[in-house]
Amino acid sequence: MSIRYDVESGVATVTLDRPDALNALVASMKADLLAALTRAAEDDAVRAVLVTGAGKAFSAGQDLREHADNLVAGKGLAGTVRRHYNPIVRTITEMAKPVIAAVNGVAAGAGASLALACDLRIASENAKFAMAFAAIGLAPDSGASWTLPRLVGPAVAAELLMLGDPVSAERARELGLVSRVVPADELAKSARELAVRLAEGPTRAYAATKRALAFGAAHTLSQSLDLEADLQDACAATIDHQAATAAFVAKERPVFHGR
């Protein structure tokens, strides 16, 4: 198995585990990744998901040796994009719980897109992002053309996608690609603490926040205001909101159960 899946304290940790190949993605690995993410999305005991890579890389993206063999066989990338990458990105973005990427090293091509699809990104000081598509004559995939301009703006997104120059962890933080950069030996601990904090939080409110952010990216302010009102009504009916309100009145710390 090239994907490791572990659940502890409400956090599902999904580890890309092909370190000798910088966690480059082959067909079986993409299928296993989708299965792991789907499992996390459907498990009520999981309230946050942490995605990371084994070894020195987060993911170098599509395995180009596999791709070269596919080209010889007369196959392009469209099949795996539709069959694997698109469902992976949809599962992350539509999941009703927060997803964190702990970027431990290079994240290139589809590997970078995978990290960008997550709700939060925390990076090791050794991390690098490379939108490497154009360097091999390809257009972006796995949602990069949608996520990247929303994070850094259209002008910077065009530069990153067309030139493909690597972006250091600190530059990624300055651009807004990641929210935190930590020393390499602290990444696992820091990412774990963040994931546990989210797993202990109001899961329904996080799901509503994800939905509102995605909706707002493609709709008017008026439409977003209407959705916010609907989401507030839905959240107000949750056990977590009612208990948290009572705790606030009693000057106590709220305890969330994800319901």
Task: Give the tens place of pLDDT for each residue, 125-182.
Answer: 999 999 999 999 999 999 999 999 999 999 999 999 999 999 999 999 999 999 999 9
| pLDDT score recorded for residue 72 | 61
Q: How far is CA 142 from CA 87, 89, 133, 255, in A?
A: 9, 6, 11, 36
The mean per-residue pLDDT over the stretch 196-202 comes to 96
Angle (nearest 5°) at CA 91 between 58 and 24: 25
State the span(s) of the chain assigned CATH 3.90.226.10. 3-199
CA distance linking residue 23 with residue 122, whole number of Å: 18
pLDDT confidence of 77, banded at 50, 70, 90?
low
Q: What angle do CA 91, 96, 99 make, to 5 degrees?
A: 65
Identify the three-state secondary structure at position 121.
strand
Mean pLDDT of the chain: 94
Q: Look at residue 188 in the predicted model and tell me its pLDDT.
A: 96
As a CATH number, domain 3-199 is 3.90.226.10
Judge whether residue 3 has pLDDT over 90: yes
- Cα separation, 217 vs 230, in Å, equals 17
Position 50 confidence tier, pLDDT thresholds 50, 70, 90: very high
Q: How far apart are CA 214 and CA 218, in angstroms?
A: 7
pLDDT at position 78? 63
Average pLDDT over residues 83-108: 97
- Where exactly does CATH 1.10.12 map onto the chain? 203-249
On whether the CB atoms of residues 122 and 239 are closer than 8 A, the answer is no
Choice among 64-73, 114-123, 189-198 with the minimum mean pLDDT: 64-73
Contact yes or no for 156/131 (Cβ under 8 A):
no
Instruction: Report the C-alpha gap between 1 and 11 in whole angstroms.
Output: 20
CB 158 within 8 A of CB 98: no
pTM value > 0.75: yes
For residues 243 and 87, give the distance between their C-alpha atoms in angstroms, rounded to a whole number.
36
Which CATH number is 203-249's, of 1.10.3470, 1.10.12, 3.90.400, 3.30.70? Answer: 1.10.12
